[in-house]
Amino acid sequence: MKKVIVTLGSAVMGLAVCLCFMWAADVLGLSALFPSPAGEDDYSVRLDYFVVGVCPSFLLLGAWIGYTSVESADQWSGMWAGTVAGSLAVFVGTSLLYRQLETLTASRAANHAVLLFFVAWVIFSVCGAALARDLYRDAPAA
C-alpha cells in the first residue's frame, strides 16, 4: 500500500513540477519567448503539445520516481533534484538562444521549435532523474 501511495503522490508532484516550471517561465521570464506569427492558432497548437505531451510525461516521470525510490527518501529527493536540474538546463539553454528564436517568422517553424523545446525538456528531466537514481543506487549504504 505504501508503494501505491508514494507512486501516486509522486505522480501528482511530477505534474506540479511541470506546471510550476511553466508558471515560472511565464512570470519570471525563465525561458525565451517563441514568436507566434499566427497568433491564437499558434497558442492553440502549443497548448495541445503541452497538455497532450508534456503534462502526461511529467505525470509518468513522477510516478516512476515514486515507484523506484519508495524505500529511499534520499534517492527520491535526489531524483527530483535531477529532474529540476534537467529542466533548468533546458530552460536556461533555450533562453540563451533567444536571438535565433526571434528570427523564426514562419508559424510552422516556430511551432516546431516549441515542440523541440518540449521534447528536450522531458528528455533532460528524465535523464537528470535517471542519473541521480544511478548515483544513489551505486552509493555505499550509510
Listed by start position, the domains of the chain span 2-138
pLDDT for 29: 74
Predicted TM-score of the model (pTM) = 0.90
Q: Which three cell numbers stand for residue 51?
A: 497538455
pLDDT for 140: 61
Instruction: Indicate if the pLDDT at residue 40 is higher than 60.
Output: yes
For the segment 28-36, the average pLDDT, to the nearest whole number, is: 79
Instruction: Indicate if the pLDDT at residue 26 is higher than 90.
Output: no
Q: How far out from the chain centre does Cα 137 lie?
A: 23
3-class secondary-structure state, position 71? coil
pLDDT for 138: 65
Q: Which long-range contacts (CB under 8 A, 24 or more apart) does 90-96 make?
A: 90/117, 90/120, 90/121, 90/124, 90/125, 91/21, 91/25, 91/30, 91/31, 91/121, 92/30, 93/120, 94/31, 94/32, 95/29, 95/30, 95/31, 95/32, 96/32
Least confident of 40-44, 59-63, 113-117: 40-44
pLDDT for 132: 93
**Cell 518540449, located at residue:** 118
Q: How far out from the chain centre does Cα 62 lie?
A: 11
pLDDT for 103: 87
Instruction: Indicate if the pLDDT at residue 141 is higher than 60.
Output: no
Q: How far out from the chain centre does Cα 48 lie?
A: 16
Q: 68 falls in which pLDDT band (50, 70, 90)?
A: very high
